[in-house]
Amino acid sequence: MSQSVRTRPEGCGQALSEAYDTALLDLDGVVYAGGDAIVHAVESLASARAGGMRLAYVTNNALRTPDTVAAHLTELGIPTGAGDVITSAQAVARLISEQVPAGARVLVIGGEGLRVALRERGLKPVESADDDPAAVVQGFGGPELPWGRFAEASYAVARGVPWFASNTDLTIPSGRGIAPGNGAAVEVVRIATGAEPQVAGKPLPPMHRETILRTGAERPLVVGDRLDTDIEGAFNGEVDSLLVLTGVTDGALLLAAPPQHRPTYVDADLRGLLGGQPEVSAVGEGFRCGGWTATAGAERLELDGDGTALDGLRALCAAAWTAAGDGSCTLDAGKELARLGL
């Protein structure tokens, strides 16, 4: 994928599972939601794997270990080994190991996933700012993480100890709704110290590097539901991406996406891996996909024709992204999205 400004979703004449050797799949909102498999996910992933595509699961959540994530996926009917799971804990542990001496102590503010990843890199997790840590690392610790852990991080960071964060996602989905994520916890320490952490997780390069090192992918396809982590991470890594509409991104967010948030492909769910992608072509002053033609008016996007909702959305993306150029589209598309049921 080039870094030129994307003005329309791309087409692909063969199944994505054949065009790419490895799918780098986000988990929540892509494979499962609230712990349960998303519709079509299990069978779609099984078909992609049977066709020769490697499946790797890439998550910003540093709480769970790869073994735990793999066991959960296997229980859902998606056979997975720990080596198929890449976490932001692993990415940040590698980042730390490159900057501190071998065997160094690292103050951990988070869960078991961080501790396992640090030990894998030969580092020693500690619990107190008084343990003479060479670094401080924060990762999502779950709802039971004591408030005092933030104080420990603040004491060490204020003394000048290098500070790292697995990721800075402000929110995390739960079975009851949206909850504060690790980014919210990082803000607590930032407010207390005025310092800035080094961050490893999506959409930043350390996470992409970790996935490539661990999978050996030569033609990877990032598959995600979030524009600001999954799709931006693919953009930063200069690889192609597939946005699925089973998570947090809806049609309005997609149409307003700035260049770094525009996916290569758009599909409803993981069945998109199993087929090609339709071409979006310029027609006069508009863009056609399937039976739909989309144009950008003075104040709103307009859609004419008939066909599948996805083809209509792809055509609207082309009109919106072309009109926006290297910015975010502000044209109203509410009526047309409602017409498509999106």
With H, G, I as helix, E, B as strand and everything else as coil, classify residue 203.
coil
- pLDDT 10s digits, 92-147: 999 999 999 999 999 999 999 999 999 999 999 999 999 999 999 999 999 899 99
Angle (nearest 5°) at CA 206 between 34 and 32: 15
Give strand ranges (E) for 95-219: 105-109, 124-126, 135-138, 163-165, 171-174, 177-180, 198-199
Per the omega criterion (within 30 degrees of 0), is the bond before 203 cis?
yes
Q: Would you say residue 1 has pLDDT above 70?
A: no
Known catalytic residue: 326? no
Mean pLDDT across the chain, nearest whole number? 96
The two structure tokens encoding residue 266: 């758009």
Position 124 scores a pLDDT of: 98
Contacts of 329 (CB under 8 A, 6+ apart): 255, 256, 257, 301, 320, 321, 323
Measured N-to-C along each axis, helices 88-97 and 112-120 cross at an angle, to the nearest 10 degrees, of 40
Whole-number Å distance between alpha carbons of 188 and 132: 22
- pLDDT 10s digits, 4-34: 899 999 999 999 999 999 999 999 999 998 8
Q: Which of 28, 84, 240, 267 is catalytic?
A: 28
Whole-structure pTM value: 0.94
Residue 205 to residues 105, 201, 310, 326, Cα–Cα distance (Å)? 25, 8, 31, 22
Confidence of residue 251 (pLDDT cuts 50, 70, 90): very high
- pLDDT 10s digits, 169-196: 998 877 677 889 999 999 999 999 999 9
* H or E element at residue 113: helix 112-120
Residue in the block written with tokens 């980042």: 95
Q: Closest by alpha carbon to 215, among 66, 102, 110, 73?
A: 66
Strand 105-109 to 135-138 pairing: parallel
Strand 22-25 to 220-224 pairing: parallel
Residue in the block written with tokens 């030129």: 4
Known catalytic residue: 28? yes
Q: Which of 21, 26, 225, 306 is catalytic?
A: 26
Position 3 scores a pLDDT of: 66
Angle (nearest 5°) at CA 173 between 172 and 175: 140
Of all residues in the chain, the percent with pLDDT exceeding 70 is 99
- pLDDT 10s digits, 257-286: 999 999 999 999 999 999 999 999 999 999
Give strand ranges (E) for 169-300: 171-174, 177-180, 198-199, 220-224, 240-244, 265-267, 281-283, 286-289, 292-296
